[in-house]
Structure 1
Amino acid sequence: MAASNLPQARLGRGQRVAALAAIVAAAFVWSPHSHAALFADDEARRAILELRQRVDAMTQSQQRAGERSGDEVSQLRRSLLDLQTQIESLRTEQAMLRGQNEQLMREVAELQRRQKDIVQGVDERLRQFEPVKVTVDGREFQADPAEKRDFEAALAVFRSGRFADAVPAFSAFLRQYPQSGYAPSARFWLGNAQYATRDYKEAIGNFQALLARAPDHPRAPEAALSIANCQVELKDTKAARKTLEDLIRTYPQSEAATAAKERLSRLK
């Protein structure tokens, strides 16, 4: 038979359908008895055409299915590539953001360090203006650092023996800090500097100002004795005697009072 002479190779579905159609067609052509028994010529041709159409339709359907499958695979591959690209882009952006975050953290740390330095510097500067507790001539009070510095500077000039320079130094101090706790001591040393420069009248004025404003100051008895000394230098013995008598009466337990008694005994 013709079918037994076909190769025994594997055929695809479309090839098997086509081969079946060819066999059926051959059967109609080469078997006149079957043809005469089963169909008329027109009916046979119609059957063959229908069968061929069916085979063609099945073949086309399989081709379209294959094409669709290939398109879907291609589309999936493109989607995977796009997704991979997006992932890489996100990784790059994440790395960039991480780097920016680290840079910001470094900048914040630097700003915090600078802020700490600034605060410490401000605190130190503020401490330079904060009042400090001082004790001068047995009296304790609060004084600004600048006030303390200026008084000590003027006193250093006096103690160095530069009496002429000490006068303007103490005068400037009293003008700048008239309510200072240093004021009585400043007037005392100013009067002594004026006495040393033979400016007795100005010296008396400052010693008297000390007694009027701070009669209980530890330097007050010495100031009274210094007034008497200035009056002696001015040849005003009467005034000097009265000053010494007042000193002995007002400050009887002071060393200045003892010195005043001796001075009175020598005055004529």
Structure 2
Amino acid sequence: MLLARHMLRSVALGALMAVWLPAQAGLFDDEEARRAILDLRNKVTQGEQQRGELAAQVKQLTEQIQTLQRNLLDLNNQNEQLRSEMARLVGQNEQMLRDVSEVQRRQKDIAQNVDERVRRLEPQQVSVDGKDFLVEAEEKRAYDDAMATMRAGEFDKAAPALVTFLKRYPSSGYVDSARYWLGNAQYGLRQYKDAIATFRAFVAAAPDNLRAPEALLALANCQAELKDNKSAKRTLEELIRQYPKSEAAQAGRERIVTLK
């Protein structure tokens, strides 16, 4: 009896297990599916989050790139402005250098002009016929102008200019030379009597002058032009006696032979 009950219980338990195990298996399959779905949803959610994060990063990077581009454009504009400013400054500098050079040139010209004017006003040392002396600027200019007309053969201008000079500067170092050339200008104008007086005054005032022998020879020629051969011979004899080694004395020796 007990054995029968035990067998009956075993059969019932087996039947129950047969019913429960498939149902339990179905429950396990649904749980795994739910877990898979949840995992998939989590992955999708994480993917969406990652995409959102990536999109945010891309947006941020895009904004940074745009900012960098704007900054680069600004830098290029600033660089271009700097180049323009540098070109302008270089141009100004070159112009300033030209202006400075022009100012320096003008200053140099002014300084030279001032120096020239000062030199004209200051006494100058000159040398005439072996004699050195100081002359005033106006004095030198008057003498040079008179001598310029003399060298040009303009005796009609030279004679009055030399007369004026002798009256204006009676103590000048040029006096002996001016008197000598005045005698020559008068001789050129055939004013022989005036020339004789001028040459006499020259020799009397400057017997040691280098041109004294020439003055005596010219004086004798003036006397010969006036047909006063006797006076001409005496003048030539004086020339030969006082300046025997001069060229004028040699010419006088030749000249005296022709006088009767």
Q: Are residues 243 and 122 of structure 1, via their aligned partners in 2, closer, same or farther at CA, if it must alter by over 3 Å? A: same
The equivalent residue for 1:225 is 217
Aligned ranges 1:1-268 → 2 under 5 Å: 125-268=117-260
Q: Are residues 119 and 213 of structure 1, via their aligned partners in 2, closer, same or farther at CA, if it must alter by over 3 Å? A: same
Q: Are residues 128 and 257 of structure 1, via their aligned partners in 2, closer, same or farther at CA, if it must alter by over 3 Å? A: same
Q: Which runs of 5+ in 1 are unaligned?
A: 1-117
* Matched residue type, 2:225: E
Shift of 1:122: 7.6
Shift of 1:148: 1.2
**C-alpha separation between the residues in 2 aligned to 1:161 and 1:120?**
34
**Counterpart secondary structure, 1:185:** helix
* Matched residue type, 1:144: E
**Counterpart secondary structure, 1:217:** coil
**C-alpha separation between the residues in 2 aligned to 1:239 and 1:249?**
15
Shift of 1:147: 1.1
Superposed CA deviations along residues 182-209 of structure 1, whole A, max 9, x for unmatched, are 1111011111010011100100111111
* Matched residue type, 2:184: N
**C-alpha separation between the residues in 2 aligned to 1:155 and 1:266?**
33
Q: Are residues 123 and 203 of structure 1, via their aligned partners in 2, closer, same or farther at CA, if it must alter by over 3 Å? A: same
* Matched residue type, 2:204: A
**C-alpha separation between the residues in 2 aligned to 1:196 and 1:121?**
39
Shift of 1:128: 2.4
Shift of 1:145: 1.4
The equivalent residue for 1:114 is none
The equivalent residue for 2:74 is none
Superposed CA deviations along residues 121-145 of structure 1, whole A, max 9, x for unmatched, are 8876554222111011222111111
Q: Which runs of 5+ in 2 are unaligned?
A: 1-109
**C-alpha separation between the residues in 1 aligned to 2:113 and 2:190?**
48
After TM superposition, what 4+ stretches of structure 1 lie above 2 angstroms from structure 2?
A: 118-129
RMSD (CA atoms): 2.1
**C-alpha separation between the residues in 1 aligned to 2:148 and 2:115?**
29
* Matched residue type, 1:259: A
Question: Percent of pairs identical after alignment?
Answer: 57
Q: Compare CA radii of gyration and give the structure with the larger one.
A: 2
Q: Are residues 153 and 120 of structure 1, via their aligned partners in 2, closer, same or farther at CA, if it must alter by over 3 Å? A: closer
**C-alpha separation between the residues in 2 aligned to 1:169 and 1:231?**
25
Shift of 1:214: 0.7
Q: Are residues 161 and 122 of structure 1, via their aligned partners in 2, closer, same or farther at CA, if it must alter by over 3 Å? A: closer
Q: TM-score, normalised by structure 1?
A: 0.53
Q: How many residues align?
A: 152
**C-alpha separation between the residues in 1 aligned to 2:255 and 2:112?**
59
Q: TM-score, normalised by structure 2?
A: 0.55
